[in-house]
Amino acid sequence: MLLSALLLLISTAEAQLSSNFYDSTCPNALTTIRAGIQAAVRTEQRMAASLIRLHFHDCFVQGCDASILLDDTSSITSANSVRGYEVIDDVKSQLESQCPGIVSCADIVAVAARDASEAVNGPTWTVNLGRRDSTGASRAGAESDLPGFNDPLDRLVERFDAKGLSARDMVALSGSHTIGQTRCATFRGRIYGNGSDIDADFAATRRGQCPSVAGDGNNNLAPLDLVTPNSFDNNYFRNLMERRGLLQSDQVLFSGGSTDSIVDEYSRDASAFNSDFAAAMVRMGDIEPLTGSQGEVRRVCTVVNAAA
């Protein structure tokens, strides 16, 4: 009975989202966001990956509610684990000057992810709008809900299933690692200690920027896709089939398990990957949104309105 009530609540909230939510209240909202994201990606190509990841991390922790953007306070412990905050803040400032108190930070994050994908020739999709912003954040939720870079396949499947996303959604969303970079600390164990499941030449190349002993090299960056690091394409999946996934959580998608066939399909069919990625991003964006009178529309994305 309780589960049925919860599902009804979630479906009701999702039903309140619509692609034309701001058409009358802030008609230039989407144009303003797109211009801001395009400018940010032109300045730094890596920002496209960061903005997609920002949306992912937000939605996986208590729903797509912009909780990830909140600064820590005496009563709020956020999960500031990604980049792109300044881009969202800049867009929000522009929107507040056009239509104060109308466009939520959660919606800006969702649209920014779509526009970031477009900016690097990735797929596009229609973003449902009408999310509201939370007044709290949860670092504990981030630690318990977000996938880890060393998670085995069954654990990854469980984490995505808990958010209503299928294994196919998981593989498609993981394909965003076709762009972006990651820190040495996240892949050191793989390139030095996983000889049975990694291409030897690939591991040797990666060791050049990642010393074996933890220390100053922890924050050294390496592209997740060594071949086409700034292009949104399906080369990520070819890398996995050649045992050249940089993160262990990437390589487990093609390691003799249940998702091998999906990786193989996407490696051969870029259109299928693009289509599934777009659909999965829409589903992810619908995870437990706050709508109606829930939450608030923050005036400043980093603080709740009472403190703004």
Contact 293, 267 (CB under 8 A): no
For residue 49, give both structure tokens: 């990956």
Kindly report the number of other CB atoms within 10 A of residue 219's CB atom: 8
**CA proximity to 306, closest of 138, 133, 96, 91:** 133
> Cα–Cα distance between 122 and 240 in angstroms, integer?
19
Annotation-wise, does 67 bind a ligand? yes
Annotation-wise, does 63 bind a ligand? yes
Annotation-wise, does 178 bind a ligand? yes
Annotation-wise, does 58 bind a ligand? yes
H runs (alpha helix) in the chain: 2-15, 29-43, 47-60, 85-98, 105-119, 139-145, 153-161, 167-174, 184-193, 200-207, 235-241, 248-251, 260-268, 270-285
Annotation-wise, does 289 bind a ligand? no
Q: Catalytic residue positions?
A: 57
For residue 41, give both structure tokens: 């990606």
Annotation-wise, does 61 bind a ligand? yes
Residue with tokens 């972006």: 180
Annotation-wise, does 276 bind a ligand? no
Annotation-wise, does 225 bind a ligand? yes
Contact 110, 285 (CB under 8 A): yes
Annotation-wise, does 65 bind a ligand? yes
**Residues within the annotated binding site for substrate?**
147
**Residues within the annotated binding site?**
58, 61, 63, 65, 67, 147, 177-178, 225, 228, 233
**Residues within the annotated binding site for heme b?**
177
